[in-house]
Structure 1
Amino acid sequence: MTADDVEGPLAAGVLDALLREDYAGLRRFITDRTLKLPGRRVRLAEARPAFLSELVVAPEERLRLSDVFHAVRMVADPRDDTAAFERECLDALATAKLHDDARPAVHRRLGRLPDELRTGPGTFYETLAAYNDHPVHPTGRSRAGLSMTDLSRYAPEFAPSFPLRWASVRHATLAGTLPGWWPTPADVGLASADALFPVHPLAVRQVRARPGVVLASGPYLQVTPTLSMRTVAAAPLGHLKMPLPTSTLGLRNKRTIMPGTLPDGALVERVLRQVLLQEPVLPVLLADEQTYGHADDPLLGYMVRRFPADTARAHVVPVAALLAEAPDNGYVIERWDVEALFGAYLSALFSWNVTLFRYGIALEAHQQNVALVLDDSPLRLLIKDNDGAMIDPSRLRERLAPSPGTDPRDLIDRRMTTSDPETLARVFVTITLHLCAAAPALGLAERGLLPWRTGLRMIRERLDEALGPEDAFLRSRTLEAATLPGKAMLTAGTLVDKARTGAADINKHYGPPGPNYLRDATCF
């Protein structure tokens, strides 16, 4: 594969996203399906299928990132961070080339693993997923501030193993019970410790400079990174999340840990467990994320994630891994019957998320945070990382009696609560529908595994089955909507600051609506 083979699709994907978001009014330069800018014209074509956008860069166009940078400079406000945007694109390009070089050796190594080492909530499928692009964000492979050497040592796509560092931290807030594999001060070379915090090797320099922190001399606990990179597999049924000094999906989307997200995520998990007590037929398992620590510093925190025993011998496949290339040829999903598995997955996905919507809950559970648990039992979903949920406290109280520790009015991040059903619907559409249902269906079609017509029909049918008489509002915002909302991730994540976008949360900033592919007449 040549450099042009990598750069061309990346440049087209970035320009597609900028047009979709109408960054700085870029669409006003479109005439007769041509983007006309001083010094450069780019032919556009009708998107088939029209997923999120009706127009995309024409397949015959040979774009380079310099063409995209030119377009951005032509329309950008002087206050926009175009330099950061260009670095992000170039980092994504360099990482894509690194991936192409590394993938054969990594796949050979993974291909030698026996089946028993591919099961459980480990990192086998996480590593494979890391080679796929984000379904919406075109520069998702960029990790700001990390070198290619850093990536090869610590990123999931290289399947590395490394020991953690540890630090004694004063004035820490702790919750939950530490697992048996947690070190003692003596294990890491300390005579005593106030509270032991794990430190990712990439964060050692910053943590060492924090006042009141004593960095232990010895490393302890060999770990492997998951798809999120800042979360590592630490035990057969245990993961450990800790701050990482980088940004992904935009410069402003930092991978440190804001202290309030830990108790907030734990509270939402408790709410979800209460829902499952009332809705026991739902095919859902929840990771336990009740053990954490923080010291009111984005670089001093951790969360222990415990997985249900049911996952120990199952294939735990993140949605992001379904379409990844398998080391044994083909794609991960081809281990199973593709159409049957996709149908069962959609039924579980929509039954869970439509039920939550009735309770006034919309989860920001995207492809990385939803996994399929596959064994001899019927398919179940595994849900983790709940600190991005949106909840209507009033609607929740109508269905769930308040109990200690489950009142969303106690959330630290008030952006997680709303009384507006439109806000809940936007999260449902952009996460559950776009990322978790339609994007995999499109990927299946592109790989020749399931026609788009079939996948789309399955989405419509499974969503229709999940929507009952009481769900008229959600039906009107999905199956019957004229258009569907879409996120403006490049705009809010890197180019324009929150003071000017007005976005309270950059991960919930929306651009112009896109076509409703659910109503694509050519697929009926």
Structure 2
Amino acid sequence: MTHPRLATAATRRQTLAPSAIASWRIDAHNDLPASCFCNALLRETQGWQRLQTASGPVIRLPVTEGVIWLRLRHISASGECRFLWPAYFGAHGHDGATQPLDFATLLEHVLATAALVGPLAAEQRETFRQRVLESRTNTRQSLAERDDLDHLQYGPLTFAEAEQGLLAGHAFHPAPKSRAPFDAEQARRYCPEHRARVALAWWAVAPRALASASSRPQIAGELAHALLPESLAGELPPGFTPLPMHPWQARHLREQPCVRAMEADCRLVWLGESETLWYPTSSHRSLYAPNAPWMVKGSLSARLTNSLRLLSEKEVTRGVRLDAWMRELDTARRFPGFAVMQEPAWLGWRNACGDPDPESLAVLRENPLADAADGETPVLATLTQQPFDQAGLSLLGARLVTLAGERAAAPGATAPGTATLAETARGWFAAYCERVLTPLFGLLVEDGIALLAHQQNIVLRLDDGWPVGMYYRDCQGSGVTQHFLARHFELVDAPPENLWTRETVRRYFPYYLLINSTFAVTSALAADGLVDEHLLLDDLRDHLNALRERLVGDLDCLEHVLSAPTLDVKGNFFCYLSGVNEATLGDPARLYRPLANPLVGDAGDHVLDDSLRQGALA
């Protein structure tokens, strides 16, 4: 008998009429922003229970005025939940009666419960409430405007489609689509989830005001000149350097008195905007044009989720150094299919103190897709985001159901069923482990280079839907260890600022690569009903154990993830509630908290099974 998932994949495209798309986009039983909020809340708070009721598993969340009941479709080993909305509320003293609970009221109950969120000042509480509700509205508006959800679900996707298909945002964040100070009109003009395309803005910077660096034979200005349109090149004054910038940032800066003063004395000349349109990628501040040799990542004086998105000289220097170092490491031979989108140059202007102005900085990032813009290179975060509709399939799950159906239809294949789905899911995950985990752990263990590969920084290379490689991006999220200095002493004159201790590597590297990225894969595949998550965790453990035998170098972090009872996980809920700017926080470690390690002992069993205690939904 054909497995229901396989039958669904075979008929979905034919049966999803345009008139049905609206009900698919906005599904009261599958509230994506509410799921992100509650996942973050539950990960970082205590006092709630998982219970098994006659109608299925639920979470009992006590609040000041009663109890919130969250119905569960699935809970993963890392704690990611898929909920069945709406939630229900039972007030104290009402004999167990419950009623449906809208999200705004749920939020009010949570913020009124000091046992969950602590004491809150009125202004802090109201700011958080408004930002959470704005993020929810932003998500729902972008979903309502999309007419390509079926294409996103089944692909194949170009790089730009996948970047602009990240509609839910971080699965563990209370406001993953917050984007102050953009209003609705600006969001449609500049934000990727609205499929925006923008013109690249250009300045000319005088030599006395220029700040730049390059690790390539060409200086940064020469590299940037390759992006400058001919229509603007003639306006470039002799000796000046062209500086590309996000158009919103350029308009913001042109209103600042200090920038007007620089224009008045000819340290800056405004060139205008290009005719070529660029795609804002999932990070908003990075822009991509299919045939351009570089992507442009620039500062954006906007608060997106936890941080004001301004580059610093320290961060952009990391990219220049990493590019120089990695040219000596022969990674293409050692790790086939793996590459870094290097950031070998940066530009900006100097402020009145002579320092690079963070608001002006722009990084040139390699565009390895320039000659293969139609190839399938999706960002991992889009593939693993929670499903758009109550059918319950992530983009990754939908893709694998299709692949399993094709395998089952091959000559000589057995009848498609559950085994076919599980084999396909485990095969895909094995390819993911080899193409993603092997090179990233390999660089850390053998070379002492740590790349913080959260799922928005992992761009997969797919061949017929199958992982054959990956690109790592965002060189600001990189560090080196003492092992790097010992093994590659000839590459450095002095210890760099991003020389990380073992404790730092243990905290950040597993969080980004395992908890944020790899457990998102296992969670999606299990929640989609394709495979038991315990099997994937066993496969992951086996792969990491094999790497421990295969790699030679500093095995400390690899040993840590295989043996530590807990791993560190970033607390996005309370970081956002506090209102701090994560990017400039003096001690980011204080944002982290322990999470039971699903790879050790029976941790996964405990999360998935033992904690589902018997109870009754009042």
Provide TM-score, normalisation by structure 1. Answer: 0.81
Is 1:331 the counterpart of 2:395 in the alignment? yes
Could you tell me which residue of structure 1 aligns to residue 379 of structure 2?
Answer: 318
Moved more, 424-433 or 48-57: 48-57
CA distance in structure 2 between the partners assigned to 1:345 and 1:109 by the alignment: 23
Matched with 1:261 is 315
Higher mean Cα deviation, 35-44 or 284-293? 35-44
Kindly indicate whether structure 1 or structure 2 has the higher relative contact order, using CA contacts under 8 Å at least 6 residues apart.
2
Q: CA deviation at 1:225?
A: 1.7
What residue in structure 1 maps to residue 478 of structure 2?
Answer: 389
Alignment equivalent of 2:172, drawn from 132, 136, 143: 136
Q: For residue 104 of structure 2, what is the amino acid of its counterpart?
A: L
Asked if the contact 2:204/2:270 (under 8 Å) is kept, the reply is yes
Q: Is contact 1:438–1:459 with CA below 8 Å preserved after alignment?
A: no
The residue that corresponds to 1:294 in the other structure is: 348
Q: Is the 8 A contact 1:323 1:443 kept in 2?
A: yes
Matching of residues 442-481 of structure 1 within 5 Å: 442-468=523-549, 473-481=556-564
- Are the structure 2 counterparts of residues 93 and 35 from structure 1 closer, same or farther at C-alpha, using a change threshold of 3 Å? same
Q: How does 1:319-468 map to 2 (within 5 A)?
A: 319-323=380-384, 331=395, 333-334=399-400, 338-339=424-425, 340-358=427-445, 359-375=447-463, 379-392=468-481, 394-403=482-491, 406=492, 409-410=495-496, 414=497, 416-419=498-501, 421-468=502-549
Compared CA separation, residues 191 and 96, structure 1 to 2 (3 A)? closer
Amino acid at match of 2:538: R
The whole-number CA distance in structure 2 between the counterparts of 1:180 and 1:217 is 15
| Residue of 239, 247, 263 corresponding to 2:295 | 239
Aligned-pair CA distance for 1:505: 5.2
Do the aligned partners of residues 188 and 494 (structure 1) sit closer, same or farther apart at CA in structure 2, a change above 3 Å counting?
farther
Question: Is the CA contact 1:20–1:52 (under 8 Å) kept in the aligned structure 2?
Answer: no
Deviates more, 1:208-217 or 1:46-55: 46-55
- Structure 1: how far apart are the matches of 2:228 and 2:452? 33
1:86-97 equivalences in 2 (<5 Å): 86-97=129-140
Of 198-207 and 376-385, the range deviating more from structure 2: 376-385
Distance 1:292 1:66 in 2: 47
Q: Deviations over 1:153-206 (max 9, x none)?
A: 222223232322222234112233415643269617736273222232222332
Instruction: Compute the displacement of 1:290 (Å).
Output: 0.7
1:434 positional shift: 0.9
Q: 1:262/1:408 Cα in 2 relative to 1: closer, same or farther (>3 Å)?
A: farther
Indicate yes or no: 2:259 matched with 1:199: no
Query: Using the alignment, how far apart are the partners of 2:591 and 2:450 within structure 1?
Result: 16
* Mapping 1:154-173, distance limit 5 Å: 154-170=190-206, 171-173=209-211
Equivalent position of 2:413 in the other structure: none
1:437 Cα deviation from its structure 2 partner: 0.7
Within 1, Cα distance between the matches of 2:587 and 2:44? 16
Across the aligned residues of Structure 1 and Structure 2, the Cα RMSD in angstroms comes to 4.0
Aligned residues: percent identity?
A: 20
Cα distance, 1:378–1:442 mapped onto 2, change above 3 Å? closer
**1:224 is aligned to 2:285:** no
How far apart, in 1, do the equivalents of 2:253 and 2:394 lie? 43
1:306 aligns with 2:306: no
- One-letter code aligned to 1:396: F
Indicate conservation of the 8 Å contact 2:318/2:478, yes or no. no
Find the aligned partners of 1:103 and 1:388 in 2 and give their Cα distance: 32
The correspondence of residues 21-170 of structure 1 with structure 2, limited to 5 A, is: 21-22=44-45, 27=46, 34-43=60-69, 49-53=75-79, 61=88, 62=101, 64-73=103-112, 74=114, 75-78=118-121, 81-104=124-147, 106-107=148-149, 122-128=159-165, 130-170=166-206
Asked if structure 2 preserves the Cα contact closer than 8 Å seen for 1:142 and 1:248, the reply is: yes
**Cα distance between partner residues in 2 of 1:230 and 1:76:** 35
AA at the equivalent of 1:157: E
- 2:321 match: secondary structure: helix
The offset of 1:433, in angstroms, is: 0.6
Cα deviations across residues 227-247 of structure 1 (Å, max 9, x unaligned)?
Answer: 212111134243111222322
- Following TM superposition, by how much is the alpha carbon of 1:431 offset from its aligned partner in structure 2, in angstroms? 0.6
Greater Cα offset, 237-246 or 286-295: 237-246
CA shift, 1:425, in A, is: 1.4
Q: Identify if the C-alpha distance between structure 1 residues 498 and 316 changes in structure 2 by more than 3 Å, giving closer, same or farther.
A: closer
Aligned length: 499
**SS of match in other structure, 1:303:** strand
Judged with a 3 Å threshold, the aligned counterparts in structure 2 of structure 1 residues 407 and 138 are, in CA distance, closer, same or farther, namely farther
In 2, the alpha carbon distance for the partners of 1:407 and 1:69 equals: 55
Offset at residue 293 of structure 1 (A): 0.4
2:345 touches 2:364 (CA, 8 Å); kept in 1? yes
| Contact 2:451 2:509 (C-alpha < 8 Å) held by counterparts | yes
Give the deviation of 1:518 after TM superposition: 2.2
Q: CA deviation at 1:256?
A: 2.6
Which structure has the greater CA radius of gyration? 2
Deviation for aligned residue 1:391: 2.2
Amino acid at match of 1:444: L
SS at match of 2:41: helix
Q: Distance in 2 between matches of 1:125 and 1:278?
A: 25
One-letter amino acid of the structure 2 residue matched with residue 342 of structure 1: F
Letter in 1 for 2:212: L
CA separation in 2, counterparts of 1:15 and 1:109? 28
1:321, CA displacement in angstroms?
2.8
Q: Distance in 2 between matches of 1:240 and 1:255?
A: 14
Segments of structure 1 that go 5 or more residues without pairing to the other structure are: none
Tell me how far 1:496 sits from its aligned partner. Answer: 5.0
CA contact (8 A) 2:204 2:236 kept: no
- Taking a change above 3 Å as real, the CA distance of residues 278 and 66 of structure 1, as seen in their structure-2 partners, is same
- Could you tell me which residue of structure 2 aligns to residue 183 of structure 1? 228
Q: TM-score, normalised by structure 2?
A: 0.70
Query: What secondary structure, in the 3-state scheme, does the structure 2 residue paired with 1:190 have?
Result: coil
- 1:492 equivalent to 2:575? Answer yes
**Distance in 2, Cα, partners of 1:206 & 1:180:** 23
